[in-house]
Amino acid sequence: MDDKRDIIFDKIKDQIKDNDKIEKLEELQDIYKDKSEDEIFIEIIRLNEEMEEALGKDQYNEIFDKLQSIRPYLTKEQNDKLDYVIKTINKNKTGE
């Protein structure tokens, strides 16, 4: 697995106190460890569509707030990619 991804997962795990959530995060880490950035990007778009349908507006927005909270743990390059993903998701929402 990419060392940068390991570092990010470790920093996120340090912030989580719930063992069930840590286990879920570790499962996700295993699922995505061999995927390319493009594959992960496509998966993010697909999951976003599912979440948008399944969650209420407040829950959905809470997820984006949590994404913002990990920014201090990301490199500039990773922050730029997160900006791109969020921008793309917002374009898909508005149909632009």
Q: Are residues 61 and 96 located together in one domain of the fold?
A: yes
List Cβ<8 Å contacts ≥24 apart for 3-11: 4/75, 4/78, 5/29, 5/32, 5/33, 7/73, 8/70, 8/73, 8/74, 8/78, 11/70, 11/73
Q: Are residues 51 and 92 located together in one domain of the fold?
A: yes
Q: Are residues 54 and 29 located together in one domain of the fold?
A: no
Residues 4-23: pLDDT tens digits? Answer: 777 777 777 777 777 777 78
Q: What span, in angstroms and rounded, lies between the C-alpha atoms of 75 and 81? A: 10
Give residue 61's domain range.
36-96
Q: Are residues 11 and 47 located together in one domain of the fold?
A: no
Please report which confidence band the pLDDT of residue 1 belongs to, taking 50, 70 and 90 as the band edges: very low
**27 in Cβ contact with 89 (< 8 Å):** no
Q: What span, in angstroms and rounded, lies between the C-alpha atoms of 92 and 77? A: 23
Q: Are residues 92 and 49 located together in one domain of the fold?
A: yes
Q: Are residues 57 and 79 located together in one domain of the fold?
A: yes
Q: Are residues 18 and 45 located together in one domain of the fold?
A: no
Closest CA to 10 of 77, 70, 90: 70
Q: What span, in angstroms and rounded, lies between the C-alpha atoms of 66 and 79? A: 14
Q: What is the pTM of this model?
A: 0.56
* pLDDT over threshold 80, residue 59: yes
pLDDT, mean of residues 34-51: 84
Q: What's the whole-number average pLDDT of the chain?
A: 80
Q: Are residues 49 and 29 located together in one domain of the fold?
A: no
Q: Are residues 22 and 48 located together in one domain of the fold?
A: no
Q: Length of the chain in residues, anyone?
A: 96
> What is the count of structural domains for the chain?
2
Report which of residues 20 and 79 the model is more confident about: 79
Q: Are residues 78 and 68 located together in one domain of the fold?
A: yes
